[in-house]
Amino acid sequence: MAFLSGLSAFPITPINRDGRIDTKALRKLIKRLCAAKVDSIGLLGSTGCYMYLSRGERRRVLTTALGEAGGRAPIVVGVGALRTDEAVRLARDAKAIGAAAGLLAAVSYTPLTDDEVFEHFSVVARESGLPIVIYDNPATTHFHFTPALVGRLVKVPGIVAIKNPTGKSDAIESHLAEQRSIVPEGFSIGYSGDWNAAEAMIAGADTWYSVLGGILPEVCVKIVRASQAGDATEARRLDAALTPIWDLFKQVSSLRTVYALAELLDICRAEPPRPIMPLPAAAKQQVAAALARLPSGTGS
């Protein structure tokens, strides 16, 4: 089995109006994920607003989460930064505190070349000693990992997995097959983009890196287990029941939607870091209506 497999659940990082991390709410989120028996926790991903947090804040988030998880689920933590030396320090922090792996994106202001990204990832993996997951997130970084670049990176010691975006659902199977042909055995191939992730798991992907899994883990675990058991019909049935949520993710963004869900589920009243604004009242009502339409057993 690959180093990372199954459901990797990505929670929000609860922050109050003053920009301070709500550790009590964070522990509540982590406890919820562990109770659902997620396979790993994706801390400080895009849903966790990693790029809005200082090094000290990131350390505090990771220390809090690891303390609550207590070894029940490995934690993959975002270590992305604009500068290579900063990413190295973040990855070293993550390793020292106890993270299982680091999630590294090609974050930039000036557009990066393939050679620059290759060097960035190689240095972080080598100098930190932390296992690294390639985070291909072109929607935010505006950089896409080509097959040629992935083929180079998978040969770098310490790079162990990739988190791919999903495009059209009917293209996932061919993308997965192509990527399998260029990565070594045991290298974990996973996908984000929740509304297409069930099809990725049915096609044989190792991991679903899930935004919704960070707030409604039970139903996402069920989709993954059905996929792993070869029951595509059940996986698709469960996925179809989440269509109201997927529609909101596309309309108002998954980040804003899950912050609203956290409030509606009485987990916390956190807001995304400014300048990101929480959903207005009308959109929150849409989220509440979508949540009410979900069938029992979704963890709501």
User: Rounded distance, CA 121 to CA 100, Å?
Assistant: 17
Q: Quickly list DSSP for 109-160.
A: SSPPPHHHHHHHHHHHHHHH---EEEE--HHHH-----HHHHHHHTTSTTEE
- Binding residue ranges for pyruvate: 47
Radius of gyration of the chain (CA): 18
| Catalytic annotation, pick one of 28, 50, 95, 135 | 135
Q: Facing residues of 101 across strands?
A: 76
Question: Residue 25: which of 39, 35, 11, 10 has the closest Cα?
Answer: 11
User: Rounded distance, CA 205 to CA 183, Å?
Assistant: 13
Q: Is 135 a catalytic residue?
A: yes
User: Rounded distance, CA 95 to CA 127, Å?
Assistant: 11
| Catalytic annotation, pick one of 95, 163, 222, 284 | 163
- Binding residue ranges: 47
Q: Quickly list DSSP for 193-228.
A: -HHHHHHHHHHT-SEEEESGGGTSHHHHHHHHHHHH
Q: Is 222 a catalytic residue?
A: no
Six token digits for residue 70: 């207590």
Which residues in 125-155 are b (16+ Cβ under 10 Å) and which e? bebbebbbbbbbbeeebebebeeebbebbbe
Peptide bond into 131 cis (omega under 30): no
Catalytic residue set? 135, 163
